[in-house]
Amino acid sequence: MIVTNIETVPGKTITEHFGMVSGNTIRAKHIGRDIMASLKNIVGGELKGYTRLLQESRDQATARMIDQAEQLGANAIVNVRYSTSSITQGAAELYVYGTAVRVA
Amino acid sequence: MFDIIIFLALVAMGYFIGSFSERRHFRSLETREADKLLQPIVTMEDVAYPEDQIQSATLVSGSAVISVDYFKRLLAGLRNIFGGTIKSYESLLDRARREALLRMREAAPGAGVIVNVRIETASIGRRANKKGVGCVEAIAYGTALTLRK
């Protein structure tokens, strides 16, 4: 599966469009991490636990999008966009969407 | 009285540890950015490379969550009364974005160029009873093109 965020796959031509595919995930970290994060809020700096959480969530959302594209019979996803929204304290939604195509 | 001591201790901790770690972070950003000078990143979709020179295209991303310290939050709170630029938050967002961009580039070590780079910023972990930025997440993503030698 080729995933790009430009409108084409360089060196290949798009032969078929399958429409939009997307994947999302909502995750929260356990309370221990949240307490660590609020302590880190005093001294500042990077919240490694949250960075890892969001990276894992983003990978999972992308995997879901790829699953969906595979079911449609696509072999590439173009014009992929990410978005993040916080819905409650300590939880975040990761959303990824793109257009499933077949390239040759 | 006890409350004031705790408050002052938190502000002092935020100021000393926060500014120390910020300086260290900026130094590390500068050295790592200098290493990556030869790998261009662009925000356009098109590059001048001929199509047969491009070997593969993959999506790469990098992110960083940076938290604000107690001292900076106090400064920002004061700024909110008088208005003006909040310098303490500017450096926070600058760090988050540069770190995210660097991680994206480090995720694609063999890429000749990264095209269509997008940066998004989200404020996460905001508390309901406190207004303002708790911590910010910056994510950078783009398409890494590997070129034929």
Element of type H or E holding B40: none
DSSP track, B61-113: EEEEEEEPPHHHHHHHHHHHHH-S--HHHHHHHHHHHHHHHHHHHHH-TT-SE
Q: How confident is the model at residue B132 (pLDDT cuts 50, 70, 90)?
A: low
Cβ within 8 Å, pair B67-A45: yes
Domain ranges of chain A: 2-103
Domain ranges of chain B: 2-147
What is the least distance, in Å, from the CA of A6 to any CA of chain B? 6
Asked if B139 and B65 count as a contact pair (C-beta separation under 8 A), the reply is no
Q: Averaged over B78-100, what is the pLDDT?
A: 87
Cβ atoms within 10 Å, residue A86: 16
Query: Strand A91-103's sheet: what is its strand order?
Result: A2-3, A76-88, A91-103, A14-28
- Give the angle subtended at the CA of A35 by the CAs of B96 and A23, to the nearest 5°: 55
pLDDT in tens, A70-89: 999 999 999 999 988 877 76
More confident residue, A44 or A99: A99
Which class does domain B2-147 fall in? alpha beta
3-state class (DSSP) for residue A10: coil
CA distances from A28 to A34, B108, B125 (A): 9, 28, 10
Cβ within 8 Å, pair A46-B67: yes
Cβ within 8 Å, pair A86-B126: yes
Residue A90 is predicted with a pLDDT of: 62
Architecture of domain A2-103: 2-Layer Sandwich (3.30)
Is B147 an 8 Å CB contact of chain A? no
Chain B positions in Cβ-Cβ contact with residue A9 (cut-off 8 Å): 57
- Average pLDDT over chain B, rounded to an integer: 84
Q: Please determine, for residue B50, whether its predicted confidence score (pLDDT) is greater than 60.
A: yes
Q: Averaged over B122-147, what is the pLDDT?
A: 74
Q: Please determine, for residue B61, whether its predicted confidence score (pLDDT) is greater than 80.
A: yes
Suggest the residue from A52, A84, A87, A93 to mutate for an interface test with chain B (most B CBs closer than 10 A). A84
